[in-house]
Amino acid sequence: MANPNPDPQPPYTVCVALTGASGMPYALRLIECLAELKVRQYVLTSQAAQVVLRQELPDLAIPGRAAELADWLRQRYAVDEALLQVFGREEWFAPVASGSNPADAMVVCPCSMGTLAAIAMGSSDNLIERAADVMIKEQRKLILLPREAPLSAIHLENMLKLARLGVVIMPPAPGFYHHPKTIEDLVDFMVARLLDHMGLSHPMIRRWGH
């Protein structure tokens, strides 16, 4: 029987996972932009990501515990609790752990080579890996921002395997045709490309040919 009072369309949902690679400014800027767009976010962090956060952004004093990080992000970006939740690495009852409730899109930003390899192998040993596995099996949008140089044959083979499964491999390699003047301009270039691939409209950068 059809529901006579169906629920309204739920908000677009993005899972943002931070792992132990360099590039944390991309992650925080993405979270900020999604908050501005009123997109619901599930934020996941690895232990290595917390180390890199403290190293790259020492002035921010970002907390490590999931509940404290959630409060910090909500206050920083003025977002309601309903639109931003943070889950620990073994919170298996998180929505993103099940194919019955996947996010519309997931971004691993930045993506360490270890995380990329685990996703390619389908190991699902923690919530980030399991969430990515869910996105692949449910054929939802999964975007990885791998940050490593140079790339070994192992890295390239793992990326190729995932690309053949439909995963978007987007190394953080900003362009320069928009004449960036600050580091923030370079960060915005990559975040804008992420939003593009998730189908989210934004005015962040000047388009090619305009």
pLDDT in tens, 47-62: 999 999 999 999 999 9
- Taking alpha carbons only, the member of 46, 28, 26, 30 closest to residue 127 is 46
Answer whether 97's CB lies under 8 Å from 131's CB: yes
Q: Give the list of residues 6+ apart from residue 130 with CB closer than 8 angstroms, or none.
A: 92, 96, 97, 124
User: Which residue positions form the known binding site for FMN?
Assistant: 20-22, 46, 112-115, 147
User: Which residue positions form the known binding site for dimethylallyl phosphate?
Assistant: 177, 193
Q: How far is CA 102 from CA 70, 132, 139, 164, in A?
A: 20, 10, 10, 21
Q: Where are the domains of the chain?
A: 13-197
**Domain 13-197, CATH 3.40.50.1950 — does that match?**
yes
The pLDDT of residue 5 is above 70: no
The pLDDT of residue 208 is above 80: no
Question: What are 73-86's pLDDT values in tens digits?
Answer: 999 999 999 999 99
The pLDDT of residue 89 is above 60: yes
User: Which residue positions form the known binding site?
Assistant: 20-22, 46, 112-115, 147, 177, 193
- Taking alpha carbons only, the member of 53, 74, 75 closest to residue 64 is 53
- Taking alpha carbons only, the member of 18, 46, 21 closest to residue 147 is 21
